[in-house]
Every structure is written in structure tokens, then in C-alpha cells.
Structure 1
Amino acid sequence: MRSWPDVCVPAVAGSGPPLRLFDSSTESVREVRADGTATMYVCGITPYDATHLGHAATYLTFDMVQRVLRDQGHDVRYVQNVTDVDDPLIERAHRDGIGWQELAERETDLFRSDMEALRIIPPQEYLGVVETIDDVVVAIEKLLVNGSAYRLEDGTGDIYFDVRADERFGYVSGYDENQMLEFFAERGGDPDRAGKRNRLDPLLWKGARDGDPSWPSSLGAGRPGWHIECAVIALTRLGEQITVQGGGSDLRFPHHEMSVAHAESLTGVVPFAGHYCQAGMIGYDGTKMSKSLGNLVLVSTLTAGGVDPMAIRLALLQQGHFRDDREWTDELLREAERTLVEWREAVSRDRGADITATLVHVRDRLADDLDTAGAVDAISRWAKTVPGPGDSADAGLSMRTAIDALLGIAL
């Protein structure tokens, strides 16, 4: 599957302190450690509707992780998936009277356009489930052999993962069993499915059903479950251990928990990731923005209405901490538009102002668990104090470059 066009990230002299990020498995902010190349897997969209600002905020978070790691001298190997066959997508396609492949491609293409507009650095590999089914089948065969998976005895051909086979199950989210069951039922799980060994066991392979897409395989005709796809794509493209696994906070359980359990059961290597990192939800009118609720603010709608995508990006960066649930408002966007004007005016003036102290502060803020609001504030304070026309344009050029490289905002 093709990604979107690459983003040129300019180099900025020097570097900041090591990046420290919150890790859900330890409930602490810890240093991100990578020897040379940092590897990052971010769970992608299920393309049954347009990209909203909640999606944008998540992928912007991990764009910022990548920018900070690059600024510190790391190469970054980044992989993202697209869940281009799954129950929500198929149900929406049936509802709208459109082929599921056509729906998936249409919405994935819109997502690409939104990511390009927001200057999100694309993954080196962007993979749909459909193109990785053979790898998934091999992985499930291995889980069956090592006792981590089992077939239901009801003739459906469904295969499940046995969470009791993983002694560490639960460490990624840190949730107790009651919390897990609540989220599992809300987020695509089937705790009451008859014949399962444990209510939390997730589906690995769904046997063929009338009217459903399926693929022939050694497991029987069917298609992958949700969590196994991410485990397999990450393992086959990034290796047995990665630096960061990312996604939205609604993926902390079950998706991250389950996919990590699959990966570790396949390899025996723990932990799967050095950091498990989740971005908070974006709300609108007092409720979490979601497709199911329909309270969406779409990136494409804003840009089609003439909103500068850099203002959208800046609004999300200055809105608050990435791990917190936040509220999107029209005033937030207007404030970002005003800030963008101030920054553009400041860097356009010739001057001899020294940006060293501001750059140090920006890097410090970003390295401290991605305090993007603090970094934005530092630049705004700098913009208010720059002198009028002077003898040199070097400072303006340097700050423009720094803002581009570190915040991804083109002035």
C-alpha cells in the first residue's frame, strides 16, 4: 500500500536532551533508549469514515516523537498499518451499498491527503491487512503449535488466543480484570462468546461467513482478527523488539495489550516495546469525538473551508498535553491562526536577535514527555520580543528552520 509523500525535515545545529516519554506499562515517564535506529509502530486507521481531529492528534503525537528522535541524531524506522478489512468497515460498506474494498480505498486516500496537508512524516512502510494475510496465517499456525491458540469446537472455523498462556498478560495497560472486561466489551471484543476458554480471549482468525470477505489458507477459509495483524506487521517489518508502540488511548486495552501478548508469545522476547505510548482523546461539545457518535470535526472539511492546515497543526500542539483528553473549540483554532500570523511576521523581519536560549528551551520542553504547549509558548515569547529591522536575517532564517524541523510547521 502506498504511503503519502515524504516531508523534508531540515537539520538544526546542536541537539536537545534525551527524549523522555510516559510508558503505560510502568506508569512512568522514562527515557526512550535506542541504539542508533529507533523503531516505531503506530496503529493505523480502520478506513470506514473520514479523518477527524482525534485521528490527527494521535498521528501528530507520533510525528513529534519522530521529530524529536531525529533531532537527537537517531535514524527512525517507522511502520503503520491500515485495518482495511474488519467488521466496522464491512458493516459500513453494507449500510452504504458500496464494496468494502472501494470504501477502504476511498477513506484511506482521504487519510493520506489529510496527513500530507498536516505535514505528518509518512511511515517507511504502510501496510494493509489484506496484503499481509499470508504472514498472519504463519503466525497463527505457530501460536496453535505452541499452545497459545485454540480452535472453537462449534464448526465456525474461528481461532482464539488463550490469554492464560501469557503469564505477563495485563502488564501493558495495568488494568484489573473488571476494567479489562468493560473495555473489551466496548471496543470490539466478545466476552460472552460461547466456547471460549476465557472471556478475555481475543479472536485471531474468523472463519468464513456468508457475505463476508475471506481468504483460503491452511487454517481454513477466513480472515484475520484485529490484534494479530498489528503484532505480525510489527514483527515482520521491525523485528522482535521495538522502541515505541503508539496509538490512541482507546487502544491501551484491548488492542495494545492483545497485540503485545501475541508478539511476545510468538517470539518469547519481552518486552515487545521499550515504551507503550498512547495519545489522549479529542472532544467536541463536551463529548469524545468519534465516528459512532457522529460529533466529528473533519480535517478535510476545515481545509476545504480555507483553514490553513498549519493552524490546525499548531492548535493541536498548543492545546495541552498529548496524553490528556482535550476539547476542540472554534476559539482554539482562532488563537492558533493569530499565533501563526505573529510567528510569520516575526521570522520575516531582518534582525540580529540570538535564538540560542529559545531553542534550548524548545528542545527541553519537547524532550520532557512532549510538552508541545511549552515549546509553542517559548516561541511565542520569542516572537513578541524580536527587534525591528536590523543588520542580519540569520536569526529569522534559523528560527523558521527550527520551527519547521521541531514542530513541523511551515512558515
Structure 2
Amino acid sequence: MRAWQAPSVPEVPGNGPRPVVHDTAVGKPVDPTRGDDRAALYVCGITPYDATHLGHAATYLAFDTLGRAWRDAGFDVEYAQNTTDVDDPLLERAARDGVDWQDLAASQIDLFRRDMEALRILPPDDYVAVTDEVERIAEAIAFLQETGYAYSVPTPDSEGDDLYFDVNRPTESWALGDESRLDRETMLTLSAERGGDPDRAGKRDPLDPLLWRAARAGEPSWETEVGPGRPGWHIECSVIAGDRLGLPITVQGGGSDLVFPHHEMSAGHAAALAHQPLANAYVHTGMIAYQGEKISKSLGNLVTVRGLLDDGADPRAIRLALLSHRYSDDWEWFDGELASATRRLATWDAWASGGAGHADDADDVVARLRARVADDLDTPGAVAAVDTAVAGGTRSTPALVDVVDALLGIRIG
């Protein structure tokens, strides 16, 4: 599937430090490349049933920053992202609005592409629609059946049985709880809240996740070797990540609401399929609130990228506003965020186009920017370094302007 047009990224002389990022699985910053010169990134994509909100934008911006930092450090970066273009929320929204689910998905994917281009997010090398991978996912599920990791649950209202993953079957490189580090009670609660079905009768364990949903009347389905139906959520990312990038990938990324069950179960599936870990590190972005509640489609308290752009916002200011917060923190968006970022951007533009000041410490500013971004994507620290250079009279040399663009994705001047 087509991604979106890539922004130009200037080359800055030299290389930055090897980035470290916070690994949720171990609870501390790590260098996930483990000495390799290749970095493979997989970030879970959208379910395309509504506009891109700031929570989405902040997540994809964080991993855009990681990709930029890796490239600046001299890594060969491979990046894959999926789009879950068949799933219950999409089907429910299409039914509510009386539109074809495929048309709804296509329109929202196109909107997402335009928002990513406006924000100058580097596109994935592989942008993969789940609907294009159903046959391959079914092959993986058939293998899990053959090896005893998948089992069927009788489903009277379907054309066959649903298939589930046995979380208690021993696997190499994974055991339930390794990635999430959560207690069972919390996992049960999150499973019920985040697409799981812990109360489903016939399952061996309430936490066992769905691998394959057998065909139901009125729902899209595919004829496959495991019968008619469609894949469950977690197995999709396991298969796409492994096929496109090879396992283990360097970083599995997404919002913190994906820690459990999505990334936990994806890791289990990968271990059962390939007898290897899914990833060297699991990196998660914080949640953004608005008007006192987490921004979410279900709550309807959305601040959308498209809405801000349509109101005349400079996309660079949106990017700068998001970069002014640590990627891993939970924080709240206030209406004054954009105005503050717009003022800062105007100051940076004037500085970059002015040419006055001293150039003696410009190289030091470049080094500080690189160090901040490499240190667990400390973009607030990088923004502060630019502010300090502006206030201190440092001349905006071409290399300094270029590193702001290369690492922060903001072209000034």
C-alpha cells in the first residue's frame, strides 16, 4: 500500500550519539540496537475510522524523532507500519453512518497520509494494509494450530469456530507478563477494556486472545486455510513485523495504551511462530488529555490535526508544540499550546533568517541538540537548546539550521 511523500532531510556533518530509549519491558533507557548498525522499527498504525487526533500525531512524531536520531547516528533504518483496515470499530462506524466499510477506511487512510505529510513525518518503508495480508496471517495461524499454540472455541453463530492463542503454553523468549510487567488482575481489567473477551465461554484462560474470528453474517470475511473469517488484532502485527523486518526487530513502538494486551500478545505470537523475541525493546508514548480526559475517539474529545490546519495553524507550530513535551509523559493539551508554539516558531524564523550574532559556539549547539535527542528523545531539552542559542546571540549557521530540520523536523528561516 502507498505511504505518503517523504520530506527532505538535510545531511549534517558528522554523526550524533547512539540513541537510547525507555524500554517498557525493563523499565529503563537502553540502546536497543545492541551494537548493530541496522535499526528496524515497527509502529502500530491506525484503525482508519476517524480523523488523526493529537494522540496519534504525538505517537508518530515520537517514532519519527527516533528514526531521525538513528539516521543522524549513522544507522541503516528500516521502518514498517500497518493500518488495521478491518476491525470492529471500523465496521461499527461504517454501519452507524450507513457507508461501505472499505470506502470509510480508504477515506480515512487518505486523510492520515495528508496529515502525516503536513507534519513532515518520515513515511515507513513498508506501509501495510491488514486486508492485503490476510492469507499470510492465516498461514501463520495454521502453523500455530499445528504446533499446539492455537485452539478452537465452538461458535454457533458462525460458519466455523473461533481460534484462540493459549497464553499458558510454554514458548521460547516469552511468558505472559514479561513485556507488560503487570499483575493478573490488572491484565484482566485491561483485556476487557481494550478489545479482549475475558468472559468468553470455552476459552482455556480468560486472557487467551483471539487469533481468528470465524465468519459471521454481515461481516467481511476471507476464505483461507483456517476457514472463512478474519484475523484477530494482535496476530496481524506479529506477522507483518516479522515478515517485513525479521525478528527480533529493534523497537516495537506505539502508545502506552497498547502495552497490554496488544504488544504483550503480539510478543507471545511472535515467540510461538519464530522462537525469537518480537523486539529488543518496547517503547511507548504517553497519553494526551484534553479538557480533563484522555483524548480518544470513544470519548469524542478530539483535537484533530486536520481541524487545527483548517483553522490556519502552521503545521510546523503543531509539530513544535508536541515536541515541547516528553514523548513518554502523560500530559494535557490546552488551547494556548498552539499560540505559544506559534510565537516560538516566529522567533526561530527571525533568528534563522537574520544572520547576526556570533558563530563561535554554533558547533556546541549542534552537539547539544544531538545529545538531547539521543538521550531518550529529549525533545523538550532540544527545543530549550535552540531557545538558549537564540537568546544568547548565537548566529544561525547553515549547519545549525540544518540540524534543527534533521532532528526536530522543523525547517526555519
TM-score by structure 1 length?
A: 0.96
Amino acid at match of 1:125: D
2:342 counterpart (337, 340, 348): 337
1:192: Cα distance to partner? Answer: 0.2
SS of 2:133 mapped into structure 1: helix
- Residue 74 of structure 2 is matched in structure 1 by 73
* Equivalent in the alignment of 2:191: 184
Question: Is 1:384–2:391 an aligned residue pair?
Answer: yes
The superposition leaves residues 87-123 of structure 1 with CA deviations (integer Å, 9 ceiling, x where unpaired) of 0100010000000000000111100000000000000
- The answer for the alignment partner of 2:355 in structure 1 is 350
1:20 aligns to 2:26 (yes or no): no
Structure 1 position 305 matched with structure 2 position 314: no
Equivalent residue in structure 2 for 1:248, among 248, 255, 261:
255
> Deviation per CA, 1:364-383, whole angstroms, max 9, x where unpaired?
11111111000000001101
Give 3-state SS (helix, strand or coil) of 1:292's partner: coil
Is the 8 Å Cα contact of residues 346 and 396 (structure 1) preserved in structure 2? Answer: no
The count of aligned residue pairs is 403
Q: Distance in 1 between matches of 2:308 and 2:92?
A: 27
- Which whole-Å deviations, capped at 9, do the CAs of 1:209-237 have from their partners, x for residues lacking one? 00000011111100000000000000111
| Partners of 1:84 and 1:21 in 2: CA distance | 30
What does residue 148 of structure 1 align with? 149
* Separation in 1, partners of 2:23, 2:403: 27
SS of 1:244's equivalent in the other structure is strand
Residue 332 of structure 2 corresponds to which residue in structure 1?
327
Letter in 2 for 1:345: A
Offset, 1:386: 2.1
CA contact (8 A) 1:348 1:396 kept: no
Match for residue 212 of structure 1? 219
Cα-to-partner distance string for 1:220-268 (whole Å, 9 max, x where unaligned)? 1000000000000001111121100000000000100011110111011
Alignment deviations for residues 276-323 of structure 1 (CA, whole Å, 9 cap, x no partner): 0010011101110000000000100111111000000000001x2111
C-alpha contact (below 8 Å) 2:363/2:400 kept by paired residues: no
Gaps of 5+ in 2: none
Q: What SS does structure 2 have at the residue aligned with 1:218?
A: coil
1:263 to 264, 270, 274: 270
Q: Separation in 2 of the partners of 1:75 and 1:383?
A: 33
CA distance in 2, matches of 1:359, 1:311: 21
Shift of 1:396: 3.0
CA distance in 2, matches of 1:256, 1:303: 32
CA contact (8 A) 2:215 2:228 kept: yes
SS in structure 2 of the partner of residue 223 of structure 1: strand
State the Cα distance separating 1:36 from its structure 2 match: 2.0
Q: Report how far residue 139 of structure 1 moved.
A: 0.3
Aligned counterpart, 2:109: 108
**Uncovered stretches (5+) of structure 1, i.e. residues with no partner:** 388-392
Q: What amino acid is the match of 2:323?
A: L
Whether the 8 Å CA contact 2:38–2:77 is kept in 1: the answer is yes
Whether the 8 Å contact between 2:239 and 2:270 is mirrored in structure 1 is yes
- AA aligned opposite 1:374: G
Q: Which residue of 2 aligns with 1:369?
A: 376
Inter-partner Cα distance in structure 1 for 2:115 and 2:259:
25
* Aligned match of 2:41: 40
For 2:8 and 2:248, the matched residues in 1 are separated by 28
Q: Is the 8 A contact 1:23 1:29 kept in 2?
A: yes
Q: Map Cα deviations across residues 54-86 of structure 1 (whole Å, 9 max, x no partner).
A: 000000000000000000000110000000000
Matches of residues 109-128 of structure 1 in structure 2 within 5 Å? 109-128=110-129
Q: Do the aligned partners of 2:48 and 2:84 also contact (CA within 8 Å) in 1?
A: yes
Distance 1:336 1:409 in 2: 12
1: CA distance between counterparts of 2:155 and 2:54? 42
Give the corresponding residue for 2:10.
Answer: 10
Q: 1:158 aligns with which of 153, 158, 162?
A: 162
Q: In the aligned structure 2, how far is the partner of 1:260 from the partner of 1:13?
A: 38
The alignment's C-alpha RMSD in Å is: 1.2
**Which AA in structure 2 matches 1:340?**
L
1:32 maps to amino acid: P
Output one character per residue of 1:150-170: Cα deviation in whole Å (capped at 9) or x when no partner. Answer: 011344421000101145121
Distance 1:202 1:383 in 2: 52
